[in-house]
Structure formats: structure tokens, C-alpha cells
Amino acid sequence: MNVLVINFGSSSSKIAYYSNDECAYINKIEHTHDEALLSNSEQYHLRYKAVDQFIRQNNIQKGDIEAIVSRGGLMKPIEGGAYRINEKMYNDLLNCHYGEHISNLSGVVGYKLAEELNINAYTVNPVIVDEMIPEAKLTGIKNIRRQSIFHALNHKGVSNFYAKSCHNSYEDINVIVGHLGSGISIAAHNKGKVIDVNNCFHGDGPMSLERSGNIPNKALLKWYDESGFTLDEAISYLTKQCGVKSYFNTIDFKSISDRYVSDKECQQFIDALAYQISKEIGMMSVVLKGDVDQIILTGGLSNSNILVNLIIEHVKHISNVTVYPNEFEMQCLNDGVTDVLKGHNLFKEYN
């Protein structure tokens, strides 16, 4: 079974080729800062070319590819699982009907290439997986509902790894997962469903590498009023220029955590970050009514022993903590689609 896996991030394109569940080739192509600032439509050719080059450089015969799976982006909220990228999904991703995120482009390029090869393109647990319980959705403004936008693919992937490691099934356990990366998402997983999560893309929850996190309403409105930004510019600033980046003018968290002992500002920042993450974990433990089998930390920042140990100090009364550093998105995409190709799972249709 040969599967091409496409995962575009804001600054890189990760592309892999899996053959019978083994990763035969994987490549991470870094894009320049200027390229990353372009819109999705402006980046289309660049990203398509990256995939095409990957295929040619690794001498992959296009006719051997049996399916393509892409990390999916912003679209209509759907429950978790594997979905065929049909024309409706393609159009929603292409035209950014539900907003612009670079993962939209993974689906768009996957669909176009699959069309060319006359095979199916799929996505697995895209960022808008929405399994939130109704009471988690209401806000104090009648017409505003909380949205579920998070690292659904890696969240469900590491939860499955954990469940398997204790000979259990994801559908039988309750875990709190914290994905600590450019964005930070903390979710309550209740027997296979993500019943609450902070919308890490739109300013809900802890600050992160690049994001502001939750800001008190009045201060935020005042900041916007005085900023001179258009609405789109303000949203882009809050999503890409805040958090670690605004304090230290870098998104290299390792360089900050290496200075924890010697630099008071780094220490104060990391203490505050750990505090905010822990508070969110505490909230999710209440969502699960205290019935928590494990807390799982993942994402690039969970490589930092300093950050992880600070969090553990705050949350160890809730449950034990397992750390799966970095992310497993390529493997999870391949696993999700090979389950479909082998007939273990049915794919779902987006409509």
C-alpha cells in the first residue's frame, strides 16, 4: 500500500511516502520568511512544486501511488475520522470559506494531484474536528459560539499511542492532552471524543510561541483601537507575532529555555507560560469531573524539561504525566488512511 502524505506548515512543507506502513522517504522543505507571509493562493504553485520535486527526487513512480492524504484545514466543523476530499471540501479549502490556514493548502494540493493520478485524496482529523459538548460552546455574547480549532490529528494520535501502551483503547480512557507548539491547545478527551478544547488559533487559552492567547476584552479592544491595524492585520498580529516572539523576537523556544537560570526575563516568562498551561489543564480536569487517566504533553515545546517539570509541579495532583515530544502527524495521516484502504475503517463524506 503506497501513500503520499502532505503536511504544509507555515514555514515548511513536510512530505512523505509510506509503503506498507513503513516511511520510505520523508522530506521537510523549509520556506523563506517572505514566502511564509504570502497568502495561500500566492503559495499554491510553490507548494505544488515542492510535492512534485519530492516525487521526482525520490524516483517515485506516480502510477504506484495508491492514495494521497493531506493535513486538512479550516472548513465546516466535523467529527473526527478520515474523510475523502470531495469537490465540496476542495472548494471550501481553496476559497478559504471558513478562514485561511496553511493546512487548507495541503488539502488543495492533495486533491489536485489525486485528480491528475485518478486516485482518492483524503484528510484525517483536520484542525476543525468538533466534538465539543453543547455547554462548552456558549459564550456571554448570545451570537458568539466557541469554536473547536486545534491540533486534532496529533491530539488523537498521541492519545491512541498512550491507550495502546497500556493495552487499552482510546474509546475507553479519559485523557487531557496538551499540544505545545506555535499554538498551544489543551483538550479534554472523554472516551474517544474531544469534549472541550481551547481554540488555539483564535486567541483562546494560553499564550504560545507566536500567539497572544486569551487577553481581557477591554484591554484587547483598546489595543486594537489604538493599533492602527485593519481587522485582518490585527488578527494576523495576534496569531503570528505575539507570545514568545513578541517578548524575545525569536520563535526558538530552546534558546529561551537554555537561559532559564541565567536570565530573569526568560525565567519569568517560562514560569508564566507553565502557569497558564497548567491552569488550562486544571480546567479540563474539571470538564472530566476529575476522572482523568493521564495527562499527555506533546509538541516541540514539550522537549523542554524545564517547562515540562514546572507544569508537572502544578498538575501532578490530577494524574500522572506522559510526554511524547514533537508531533506524529505524518505517521497519523498514513495510519488513518491505511486503516481505510485496508477496510478496517470507513471513510466519511464531507457535505
Ligand X SMILES: Nc1ncnc2c1ncn2[C@@H]1O[C@H](COP(=O)(O)OP(=O)(O)OP(=O)(O)O)[C@@H](O)[C@H]1O
CA distance 212 to 334: 32
Buried b or exposed e, range 5-31, using 16+ CB within 10 angstroms: bbbbbbebbbbbbbeeeeeebebebeb
**Contacts with ligand BUA, 92-131, as mask; x by CB under 6 A:** -----------------------------------x----
Cα dist from 228 to 216, 231, 246, whole Å: 19, 9, 18
Quick check: 154 and 161 in contact, CB under 8 A?
no
Q: How many residues bind ligand X (CB under 6 A)?
A: 16
Report CA 96 to chain centroid distance, whole Å: 17
Our CB check for ligand BUA shows the closer of 127 and 186 to be 127
In the complex, minimum distance from the CB of residue 167 to ligand X, in angstroms, rounded to a whole number: 29
* Site stretch for ligand BUA (CB under 6 A), options 146-154, 167-175, 188-196, 252-260: 146-154
Q: Look up residue 88 and give its three cell numbers.
A: 465540496
Residue 89 has phi, psi (to 5 degrees) of: -65, -45
Buried b or exposed e, range 182-197, using 16+ CB within 10 angstroms: bbbbbbbbbebbbbbb
Choose, by CB under 6 A, the member of 78, 93, 200, 323 that binds ligand BUA.
200
In the complex, minimum distance from the CB of residue 65 to ligand X, in angstroms, rounded to a whole number: 26
Our CB check for ligand BUA shows the closer of 11 and 267 to be 11
Choose, by CB under 6 A, the member of 122, 150, 170, 350 that binds ligand BUA.
150
> Does residue 73 interact with ligand X by CB under 6 A?
no
In the complex, minimum distance from the CB of residue 104 to ligand BUA, in angstroms, rounded to a whole number: 11
Cα dist from 161 to 19, 112, 168, 269, 332, whole Å: 21, 32, 10, 31, 10
> Does residue 254 interact with ligand X by CB under 6 A?
yes
> Does residue 151 interact with ligand BUA by CB under 6 A?
yes
In the complex, minimum distance from the CB of residue 8 to ligand X, in angstroms, rounded to a whole number: 11
In the complex, minimum distance from the CB of residue 245 to ligand X, in angstroms, rounded to a whole number: 10
Quick check: 73 and 350 in contact, CB under 8 A?
no
Residue 209 has phi, psi (to 5 degrees) of: -55, -45
Instruction: Classify residue 280 by burial, with Cβ atoms within 10 Å: 0-12, 13-18, 19+.
Output: buried
> Which of ligand BUA, ligand X, none sits in contact with 301, Cβ below 5 to 8 A by type?
ligand X
**Contacts with ligand X, 213-252, as mask; x by CB under 6 A:** --------------------------------------xx
Residues at the interface with ligand X (CB under 6 A): 9, 181-183, 209, 251-254, 257, 299-301, 303-304, 327
Binding site for ligand BUA (CB under 6 A): 127, 149-151, 182-183, 200-201
